[in-house]
Structure 1
Amino acid sequence: MDAATGAALSGLKPGYSARLGAALRHAGRDLGQVPRHRRLLLLITDGEPSDIDTPDPEYLVRDAQRAVRSLSAMGIDVFCVGPGPRNKEQEAAIFGRNGFIQIDTLNTLPDKLLSFYLRLTR
């Protein structure tokens, strides 16, 4: 991660509409076209599915969960990285117990990603 990437991530602001399931399916469709033995979709998010057009938060969790399972069936691993304290039970329901990490500050992201990479390659 270079300085420009870090600056871009630091400047992110919440927009209060994160349709995770739709975003995962869209990214997975493109990633599914890449001919590789193993593919990884790395999602950086607050992990809170929300949509101004869908009032039922449980529906959004189930939708994201279905998207992760569908991508897994296509041979695409999904892993979530999220800043700050969040709802671990909800993230575990969507991404699985080992499918996410939380980071306290952005400067811990490189170390966390390295440990995740090492876990993947063992």
Structure 2
Amino acid sequence: MNIALIAHDKKKEQLIQFVKENEKAFSKHNLFATGTTGKLLMEATHLKIERKKSGPLGGDQEIGSMIANDKLDIIIFFRDALTAQPHEPDVSALLRLCDVYEVPLATNLASATLFLEHINKK
């Protein structure tokens, strides 16, 4: 499966910990990430991750394009719901594309855990 990994700044450490704890499961999939998140994940793991631009610099839009072109199966996006994001319109567009194209979207640890358990049962 093709999985995108994204995290707002205050959620990056939580995503890194989640991916590290599940590195073996993630290693079975093609991984994509926005710039800084991908860099940090690769430094913390042995995973190969195709990095896009940083979210505020167009990375969210690059991931959105992948959704619209049927190149992603799941998005794991640990969002910081309590902090205003300068690129909020891009984030909203990404979420909208997940709805339009029916791409499963996990926005927190609980939903990401369920997604990962489900896809690794296959």
Instruction: Bin the TM-score by the shorter chain.
Output: 0.3 to 0.5
Q: Which has the higher contact order (CA 8 A, sep 6+)?
A: 2
Structure of larger gyration radius: 1
